[in-house]
Structure 1
């Protein structure tokens, strides 16, 4: 058994949790640069918590420029075991309406301008992301969301686009009609892949703000209406997060789905061929196997 520590990567308002004890903003240095912001740490109902504003307080990082590797590395250094991604998204499904939450279980990664791995020349590793989210953690998010009175949809495919522009109508219709996607966003990739490389359980809570541009009755995405929906979603998101400590408990056994053992057979580079400089940078995310 290990101590549970839950991290929430989210936007404005999601880290403002009533009842967070010993709350403190801490600075974490990583070999991958600075994280998006300081990280708010504390405990909630006896369980360690960490809150990281993905875009930084004041929304200073664009989706492309979020320091994803530094964020995940920093959480690993803080002893985090479980990562909950809370993010805004557009919906491709009529029944996934603005204000609803979707517990994502699959991704299609269409980003192209981001560093997507901690590994590379000098230490090559290949982890499986066939099932990129943790069912155990997703179960807890679903239960907490429904207990808070939120309309929660379990399961969905998230199309990760580069941004920062929203989709064209043609793209929106293609993702919906031909690719079978359910929601669209700009931030869960490479975040989910990096969490898997760092052997962290990861769950994605996508908060629907709009219908993207495919919907004939809603037209193009309107930032003003998105912000209004985001305000309501933030309160719902806080309610969901407050229910997680009781569900996950202060101690946890090894992940039944192997998220915390993802690197077991992933590193292919022979020990005598590994680059010491890269190994030094991997001291947190891959410490268990190096």
Structure 2
């Protein structure tokens, strides 16, 4: 009889305790969701230390005092970019353009953090390093537009399928290389990216950094199929320099879109497959 009397009280106690535990768990979840995100980094292949897109986005959502700077070239910026980003092209910064560096310095002086980005972190990593050498110690390399793009909002420009280069993959590029003598391979990586990955290019390829392409368009033969190469997807992310190079050739020189191509997987995949390479001179 005594046990029968105590049973309802035990059940009530368990329910109350369970409810308290659930409330505590929910409170912990809310606390985790609203916890302040601090600046942190990750190691990214041969790019080195970068700010993950997830961290940059959450800091921005918290109204942290950050500015995001796109250092890609105009064609890349026009095609798509991060909303609210500022554009200062790598080519201008690399040439030590006074106006470009003054602009970046002003941003660093008026914001707590400056995050610079390119497609997959290579070009922007070089700029972040140079900025820190110039005393802009709050300037850091974002992991890359290709890491931001799948998860967070972007601004896309107008596209014209008739002026878009064709994507090719590693097997097709190697088929061109071994089968035809009238296909040009053009490496558009910057020297700092090439040096960071062993100093090689595809054997026989031309080397025209994207930052110099506008001044060297006479070296692009519109009558020949041309395959542009950058870092590609091999080291994570996706380089946007090679499609931008194809677009420059199409729009500025008038090359037919059908003849301009770019290797999606990039130089790293080519070299990892054991295909012929040579040192950049």
TM-score (norm 1): 0.22
Structure ID, larger Rg: 2
TM-score (norm 2): 0.23
**Structure 1 or 2: larger helix share?**
2
Structure scoring higher RCO (CA < 8 A, sep ≥ 6) equals: 1
